[in-house]
């Protein structure tokens, strides 16, 4: 009977501990999953001839790129679209160019995307002062490597650089945590000390109960995030912090009621 009551009274905590163990295993094997902004990814920027409708552009990108992505305007005049995604396949790039050409009357292709990279790779920024023989040799090398046909005029006209893909280093989530770690820990410590000083006269184990409840709750939430592969971002970190403070407030309310009842009994 006592064993039945133990499991009945502590069922939630047993489930939470099991989840924490499972979450620890997931983190050990796979680590956390981070949001696109907080992980290394690529940015595909395309310069259009005129301002575009952002909703229309998002619909175009959504029809081509099925994985998680972000579309935003990245220029003051609204003529450049920036698309962030984990990666872009050649098929996605060509399909995106085709749909943009159809919608906005442009003439973009894989040559448009590779132009900037090729000029840098083959040191063609000073092509006007190069010998024709050297230029032709480089054009041949470009053809062999990229299977793209360029003319001297195309390689000379840097105004044709209308698209580029760059590697973006994700925002380190630990940097975000460290920014408010000290004030949060300080605030939590002050609240815990206050609750302990108020209630330990009536319950010697109050501090241990408080710390266990806080640690288990936060560890459980982090474990659930890891198990369901929810992407970690600033919003989730802030949410975990808010929940932690809410736990302290609720515990303090219960502690004050306990103190009040003890005083009445005396």
- Identify whether residues 156 and 239 lie together within a single domain: no
Q: For residue 227, what pLDDT band results from cuts at 50, 70 and 90?
A: very high
Query: What confidence score (pLDDT) does residue 256 get?
Result: 84
Residue that has been written with the tokens 């802030």 in this structure: 238
Give the structural domain span for 200.
2-34+172-265
* Domain tally, the chain: 2
Query: What confidence score (pLDDT) does residue 25 get?
Result: 93
- Identify whether residues 20 and 129 lie together within a single domain: no
pLDDT of residue 179 exceeding 90, the answer is no
Name 141's Cβ contacts closer than 8 Å, sequence gap at least 6. 122
- Identify whether residues 48 and 136 lie together within a single domain: yes
Buried b (16+ CB within 10 A) or exposed e, 24-33: eebeeeeebe
Q: Which of 116, 136, 168 is the last residue of a domain?
A: 168
- Identify whether residues 133 and 228 lie together within a single domain: no
* Among candidate residues 31, 33, 43, the one with its CA nearest the CA of residue 169: 43
- Identify whether residues 75 and 133 lie together within a single domain: yes
For the whole model, what pTM was predicted?
0.68
pLDDT per position as a tens digit, 55-66: 999 999 999 998
Show the 3-state SS of 89-151: CHHHHHHHHHHHHHHHCCCCCHHHHHHHHHHHHCCCCCHHHCCHHHHHHHHHHHHHHHCCCCC
- Identify whether residues 126 and 107 lie together within a single domain: yes
Q: Which of 168, 201, 234 is the last residue of a domain?
A: 168
pLDDT of residue 5 exceeding 60, the answer is no
* Among candidate residues 104, 112, 214, the one with its CA nearest the CA of residue 164: 112
- Identify whether residues 143 and 178 lie together within a single domain: no
Give the other-Cβ count within 10 Å of 41's Cβ.
20
Query: What confidence score (pLDDT) does residue 24 get?
Result: 92
- Identify whether residues 106 and 55 lie together within a single domain: yes
What distance in Å separates the CA atoms of residue 124 and residue 147, rounded to the nearest whole number? Answer: 18
> If you average pLDDT over every residue of the chain, what do you get?
85
Q: Which of 168, 192, 219 is the last residue of a domain?
A: 168
Token readout for 135 is 């230029």
Query: Distance between terminal CA atoms of the chain?
Result: 34
- Identify whether residues 135 and 55 lie together within a single domain: yes
- Identify whether residues 127 and 49 lie together within a single domain: yes
- Identify whether residues 105 and 81 lie together within a single domain: yes
Query: What confidence score (pLDDT) does residue 9 get?
Result: 56
- Identify whether residues 88 and 103 lie together within a single domain: yes
Question: What average pLDDT does the segment 110-118 reach?
Answer: 86
């Amino acid at each position: 009977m006592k064993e039945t009551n133990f499991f009945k009274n502590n069922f939630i905590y047993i489930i939470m501990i099991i989840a924490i163990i499972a979450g620890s295993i997931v983190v050990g094997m796979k680590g956390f999953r981070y949001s696109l902004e907080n992980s290394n990814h690529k940015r595909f920027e395309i310069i259009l001839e005129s301002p575009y409708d952002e909703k229309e552009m998002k619909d175009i990108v959504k029809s081509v790129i099925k994985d998680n992505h972000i579309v935003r305007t990245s220029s003051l005049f609204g003529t450049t679209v920036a698309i962030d995604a984990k990666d872009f396949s050649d098929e996605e790039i060509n399909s995106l160019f085709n749909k943009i050409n159809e919608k906005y009357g442009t003439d973009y292709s894989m040559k448009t995307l590779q132009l900037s990279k090729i000029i840098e790779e083959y040191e063609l920024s000073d092509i006007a002062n190069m010998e024709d023989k050297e230029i032709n040799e480089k054009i041949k090398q470009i053809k062999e490597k990229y299977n793209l046909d360029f003319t001297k005029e195309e390689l000379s006209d840097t105004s044709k650089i209308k698209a580029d893909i760059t590697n973006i280093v994700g925002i380190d989530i630990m940097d975000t945590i460290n920014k408010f770690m000290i004030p949060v820990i300080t605030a939590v410590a002050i609240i815990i000390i206050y609750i302990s000083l108020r209630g330990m006269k009536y319950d010697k184990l109050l501090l241990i109960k408080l710390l266990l409840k806080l640690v288990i709750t936060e560890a459980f939430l982090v474990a659930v995030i890891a198990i369901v592969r929810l992407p970690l971002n600033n919003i989730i970190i802030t949410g975990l912090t808010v929940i932690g403070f809410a736990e302290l407030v609720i515990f303090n309310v219960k502690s004050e009621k306990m103190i009040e009842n003890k005083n009445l009994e005396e």
